[in-house]
Amino acid sequence: MDNQLLEAKLSQLLHILRETAEWLGVPGETFCRETKLVRACQRNLQLLVEYASDINGILILEFGKKAPGSYRESFSSVFDMDFASTLSATDRDELLASVDWRNDLIHEYEPEQSSETFYRVLKEFLVAYRNYAQLIHGRFLSPNSIFLTDRP
């Protein structure tokens, strides 16, 4: 397995996790008033899905499975692998929901959901992505790699 590529993608994911968590440190009312902050977090959600899908693709191909045709498929394929059994059903649901949010943001001019709802669900998504990152790191990367020094 190309651990360097996997670690690079995980590092990108962790950077976006840390950045987004910092931005969500403001009260919800402030977040909703700051259009640039909302849009930046929307973009970061897109990046989280893309980086995780890249990681999923690396793992799927490494295990000799069929390349996924969508972001959702990439998560579903990884969830079917033995190593992913420790990822909770809640985390799995949140990761799949994040793909749906990402798709809505990409394909619609204005999201149907309010900024208040986005603020709340994005915080939940970050927990799931953090757990996903811990799972990938613990299973495929050495203890001395980036995860331990690059905390979101």
If one counts every other C-beta atom within 10 angstroms of the C-beta of residue 80, the result is 12
Instruction: Report how many domains make up the chain.
Output: 1
Q: Which domain holds residue 35?
A: 3-148
Per-residue pLDDT at 131 exceeds 50: yes
Per-residue pLDDT at 132 exceeds 60: yes
Q: Quick check: 11 and 123 in contact, CB under 8 A? A: no
| Predicted confidence (pLDDT) per residue in 43-98, tens digit | 999 999 999 999 999 999 999 999 999 999 999 999 999 999 999 999 999 999 99
Q: First vs last Cα of the chain: how many Å apart? A: 25
pTM > 0.95 = no
**Distance of alpha carbon 24 from alpha carbon 144, whole angstroms:** 29
Give mean pLDDT, residues 109-121.
79
Per-residue pLDDT at 5 exceeds 60: yes
Q: Quick check: 46 and 96 in contact, CB under 8 A? A: no
CATH number at residue 77: 1.20.120.580
Work out the pLDDT band at 150, boundaries 50, 70, 90: very low
Burial 33-71 (b: 16+ CB within 10 A, else e): eeeebbeebbebbbbbbbbbbbbbbbbbeeeeeeebeeb
